[in-house]
Amino acid sequence: MATVGFFWYYGSPKYTDVGYRPIQPVPFSHKLHAGDLGMDCRYCHSKVEKSTHANVPPTQTCMNCHKLILPESEKLLPVRESYATGRPIEWTRVHMLPDYAYFDHSAHLRAGVGCVSCHGRIDRMDVVQQAEPLSMSWCLDCHRQPQKHLRPVNQITNMDWQPSAEQISFAEKQIKELNINPPVDCSGCHR
């Protein structure tokens, strides 16, 4: 039984995926941009509320600021080269779901699930790392009891938002008003 437990834990996404933080082609600091400068997630990930996928920002988004801010920085050389050539930067994906799992960012944000629920405190990460296991059981736990993850829709990117003492009643009201009914059957995520 101990052997099964050993492999169950050490082979699970909680052990293998949480903490994953690949080296990126540009040392982009979410702590600086989203934390210290207070940039909203949606400035760079502009399609996240409308698309099933959170987009990786095009180089033009970076250059909106970096034409003027640190335009000669050695760290930003790949950004300037991408901008000049039109070739996108090849970022390494951090938060990965298997191809057979369907996930819609926009549906979660419309329901009031904040970025921090799945991605952790990105605003405190110099190097982005996976904060949650993103496993099927982890997702199903939230789908079965979404109340603690719901917040006002206008607070989805607020990393400092904290639930009030009335969180459960607020969430129940939001579930009713927004007709939130997270699927818990296989076809909800496996299409």
End-to-end CA distance of the chain: 35
Q: From CA 102, how far away is CA 51, in angstroms rounded?
A: 13
Joined together, the tokens standing for residue 22 give: 């690949």
Burial of 163 (0-12, 13-18, 19+ CB in 10 A): middle
Nearest to 90 by CA among 26, 18, 177: 26
**pLDDT tens by residue, 106-156:** 999 999 999 999 999 999 999 999 999 999 999 999 999 999 999 999 999
pLDDT of residue 147: 96
Helix (H) or strand (E) holding 121: none
**pLDDT tens by residue, 54-76:** 899 999 999 999 999 999 999 99
Residue with more model confidence, 19 or 16: 19
Nearest to 44 by CA among 66, 26, 60: 60
Joined together, the tokens standing for residue 55 give: 């987009």
